Each structure stands twice: as structure tokens, then as C-alpha cells.
Amino acid sequence: SWSMQNVFDEQVRLIHSKVGPGDHVICALSGGVDSAVAATMVHKAIGDRLHCVFVDNGLLRYKERERVMDTFEKHLHLPVTCIDASERMLTRLKGLADPETKRKAIGELFIRVFEEFAGVLEAKIGSKPRFLVQGTLYPDVIESCPPPGTNLKHSHMIKSHHNVGGLPEDLKFELIEPLRWLFKDEVRKIGALMGVPKQFLSRHPFPGPGLAVRILGDVTVGSALEVLRLADEIYTSTIREFGLYDDIWQAFAVFLPVKSVGVQGDQRTHSHVIALRAVCSADGMTADWYPFDGKFLKEVSSRICNKVKSVNRVVYDITSKPPGTIEWE
């Protein structure tokens, strides 16, 4: 729309005047809409003095790295360095079962990888980059600085969140936050103006620790990641096929570290259980489970059991938030 084009142009102008001709800017892309739109604005303003990195932490969904890099390159024309840290991450996560311990390890390794990227960049350009781009939205600004008397009981503090933006104090950069005054729907409109495909703009939220919070316990046991990726892809594409994706706030599969008995063909099986989750929500603070009809549930369950080896049972999570959280860990 006209006004969003104005917001975009104004931000590009502001960034252009804030960043001096010799300054460099660094940006960690999460794969989400916000960081991608923020980076694209900065790229418009200062071109190749923006240095973006995308870290594959080994906990991404089916073909996600390829899909996200493709969007950056083909649609946003954004130069991005992709770092594959998956082996390091899985080595680090081996044997860790406690949810908060897992989150902490993932956040720390991300920071180390980012610092290494910044170090290599500094050597290349001959100075430390001065600015860091973050895709902070207006609701994040309010939440991190709540007015007195605000009830934070249901805030995100229930679980420690390690968003890609969550860098430590001593990594001192000046911040560029071009989305600081915008709501999510406005960011989507700007993204659409910049040519980001609709499928990318309307993607459900995805947590920073990725599939690690959707494999209960040790994520490195057996082929849990592989099984979950496949089941989740079948689930999501069936939701799209039934035209339900945009009615749902967030939908995903969860890998349960248990086996149950089943029968497939004439064979008794002893295989894994996949749980499906789908919720409606306004902001993720509270949520209701999504009332799929029987036809959908029957179809998705038979597809998953037929196509994913070592899964013989699918269950649907009928817990709202509260008392459950949206993620299982």
C-alpha cells in the first residue's frame, strides 16, 4: 500500500544517513520474516557494506536451509553467508535431556558461531563492524519495557528464549532496528512490496531452538530428527492442501521418545509415536487447540504411518495453553 511504501522509503533514508560511508553492518538472519525484511531495508540503503549470516544449527525443518537461502537470493537479492554448524550443534547436544539445558547449549553455540563470523569479517574488512541489524517489532519493544503494573505472569519468561537477536552485552554493536515501530501485519505488507513470496510472509512462527524443543529429551538419539522432519513436512503440506494453513497460528509435529505396538501388513511392529499440535492464538501467550475435522485427521494419520518408516502411531494434542504450553518443551 501507499503508506507502507512511505514507511519503507523513510526507513531506507534514515539508515542511509545513520550509517557513515566507511561503516559496516552485520546481521544474523533467523529464517523468519522480520530479520529478512529488516536486512533487505538495510541492503537497499547501504548495499554490500551489509554482511548477513544464516546459521544452520542442525535443528531446522525439512529442506528449510535450501528454502530460506533460495528466498534470500532469488526474491530478496540479499547476499547471505550460510554457516553449517549442524555437526557442532549435534555433538554439543549429545546426552542432554533437560529442556532448559538444551536451550542454553543451543543459544551459547549460536553466539560462538556468530562471534566467529564477526571475527572473520573483521579481518576481511580491516575493522570491527559498527552496527547490528535486528528485526525487533513494536510488541517486542513493549514487552521488554512494560508499563508499570503490567501483569507478566503469562509472559515469555516461563521458558528462557534464545532468539537469534539475543546476543550478549559484550558483543557491543550499535543497533539498527528498522521495524521497531511496526506490527507484524505491517511488516508483512512491506515484505510483499519488496517481492517476498506470500508463502514466506505467512509462515507460522518457528522457535529459535528449532526441532530440539519438539524431540523430547536427547535430540541425537536414533534417527529422531530425520523421522520428525518427514512427519512434520507431511503434516504441514497436508494442512496446506486442505486450505487450513492460514486459519492456524502454529502447527507442527512432535517426536515422542517412546515406542508402541502396532500391526502393519501381517507384521507386528514396535515403533515410534508422533504427536501433532495445532493451535489458534492471537499472540502465543494463550492458545486453543485447533478443531480439525475427522476427514483431515484420518488422512494425515494414514499418510504419516504409510510414509514414515518407524512410525506406527499418530496422536493429536487436545491441550490448550494454559495449562499446556504451545511447544512440548
The residues that touch ligand XMP, with contacts defined as CB under 6 A, are: 103, 158-159, 161-163, 205, 207-209, 213, 250, 284, 321, 325-327
Q: Helix, strand, or coil here: 150?
A: coil
As a residue count, the chain comes to: 329
**32 a known binding residue?**
yes
Q: Helix, strand, or coil here: 230?
A: helix
Residue 249 contacts residue 284 (beta carbons within 8 Å): yes
- Rounded least distance, CB 212 to ligand XMP, Å: 9
* 140 vs 327, beta carbon nearer ligand XMP: 327
Question: Which sign does the torsion angle of CA 81, 82, 88, 90 carry?
Answer: positive
- Rounded least distance, CB 311 to ligand XMP, Å: 22
**35 a known binding residue?**
yes
Number of H helices, E strands in the chain: 10, 9
Side-chain half-sphere exposure of 236, counting CA atoms within 13 A? 19
**Cα–Cα separations (whole angstroms), residue 14 to 24, 41, 177, 180:** 16, 10, 11, 13
* 158 vs 261, beta carbon nearer ligand XMP: 158
**212 a known binding residue?**
no
**31 a known binding residue?**
yes
* DSSP character at residue 147: P
* 135 vs 207, beta carbon nearer ligand XMP: 207
**28 a known binding residue?**
no
* 261 vs 318, beta carbon nearer ligand XMP: 318
- Rounded least distance, CB 161 to ligand XMP, Å: 4
Torsional class of 244: left (φ above 0), alpha (ψ -120 to 50), beta (otherwise): alpha
- Rounded least distance, CB 204 to ligand XMP, Å: 8
- Rounded least distance, CB 22 to ligand XMP, Å: 34
* 259 vs 321, beta carbon nearer ligand XMP: 321
**33 a known binding residue?**
yes
Q: How far apart are CA 133 and CA 299, in angstroms?
A: 43
The annotation places the binding site at: 30-36
Binding residues for ATP are 30-36
